[in-house]
Structure 1
Amino acid sequence: MARQLDLLRALLRPRAEIPGQGLLGPSTTTMRVRPADLDIYLHVNNGVYLQMMDVARTNYIADLGGFGLFKAKGWYPVVAAQTVSYRRSLTLGQRFEIRTSVVGWDERVIYLEQIFSRDGEHCARGLVAGRFLSRGSTERVPAPQVVELLGRDVVEPDLPKDVADWARAMGVAHKPVGTAS
């Protein structure tokens, strides 16, 4: 519940836009592990990681100045798929960072990587496939339109192979015309 309040705060009172922040540049969110984040094994509960990732993605949008742009268009983000892999536990009181970066996109989905680290040590990695929807309709906003709005002439990077493989396995990858379903 506490991280949901962090998300609400990040939405209602977003942090200031970072001048010059590029779509492909990383956004960093710093947090500290709280008692409510812990499971019975006294490390961060796996579900809490997802809530922390929500907060960090919201901060990423704020860093780009995206909230006003999305509001004007009537667009909002949703998660189509996400996966987290864990290497090191986070425990009570530890400070850590979540580095959020766009690693690519296709016709439907924008792919993000979210790296949790503590004192420079890799703790967890999240992959997220995000889509944008248009309020008041069932219309999905094509990812290149979102990129154009936020990125202003950004050059599309090659999607890392592991992310492309993951997207296909999760069933969220765009299937070009003429490919099997």
Structure 2
Amino acid sequence: MTRTLQLAAATLRPRRAIPGQHMLDVSVTTMRVHPGDLDLYRHVNNGVYLQMMDVARSNFLADLGAFGLLNERGWYPVVASSTVAYKRSLKLWDRFEIHTRVLGWDERIVYLEQAFWRDGHRYARGLVAGRFLARSGERVSGPDVVALLEPELAAPELPEDVAGWADALGISYRA
């Protein structure tokens, strides 16, 4: 429940935008492992990683100053797909960072990487295929979202592993 409340706070009362922050810059969210994050094996439950990633994505949007712009248009983010690869276990009271960055986009999806770091070591890496919807129920294209937040930004080429992941799941844009 604490991560749900943390997400509500990050979304309804976002942190201040970072002057000069760009869409392709890394956004850093610092957290600490709480007792409610643990499973029976005394490390962070795999589902909690996804909740932590939700909070970090809200912080990413806040760092860009995006909430006002998105709200004006009635647009909001949703997850189309995600995957996480775990390398090390986060344990009770560990302090760590989530580094969130946009890897690229296509006509449908904005692709993000979210990496969990502690003491200079990567503990987990998440890939997220994010979509934006309008309150009317219509889908908003990736390029339209990017143009709103950072006009004239060219899409970088997706890393090969991310493009392969998107193709394998059938979430990438097909003309």
TM over 0.5: yes
Deviation at 1:152, TM superposition (A): 2.2
CA distance in 2, matches of 1:151, 1:53: 23
CA distance in 1, matches of 2:98, 2:169: 23
CA distance in 1, matches of 2:13, 2:73: 20
Gaps of 5+ in 1: 177-181
Deviation at 1:5, TM superposition (A): 0.6
Deviation at 1:171, TM superposition (A): 1.5
Deviation at 1:153, TM superposition (A): 1.8
**Number of residue pairs aligned between Structure 1 and Structure 2:** 175
**1:51-70 maps to which residues of 2 (within 5 A)?**
51-70=51-70
Instruction: Name the residue aligned to 1:96.
Output: 96
CA distance in 1, matches of 2:100, 2:150: 15
**1:164-175 maps to which residues of 2 (within 5 A)?**
164-175=163-174
TM-score by length of 1: 0.95
Instruction: Name the residue aligned to 1:133.
Output: 133
The answer to whether the aligner puts 1:159 opposite 2:158 as a matched pair is yes
Structure 1 counterpart of 2:144, one-letter code: Q
Deviation at 1:151, TM superposition (A): 1.6
CA distance in 2, matches of 1:153, 1:18: 20
Instruction: Name the residue aligned to 1:35.
Output: 35
Structure 2 counterpart of 1:62, one-letter code: A
CA distance in 2, matches of 1:109, 1:131: 5
Aligned identity (percent) is 63
**RMSD of the alignment, in Å?**
0.6
Gaps of 5+ in 2: none
CA distance in 1, matches of 2:5, 2:167: 33
Instruction: Name the residue aligned to 1:112.
Output: 112
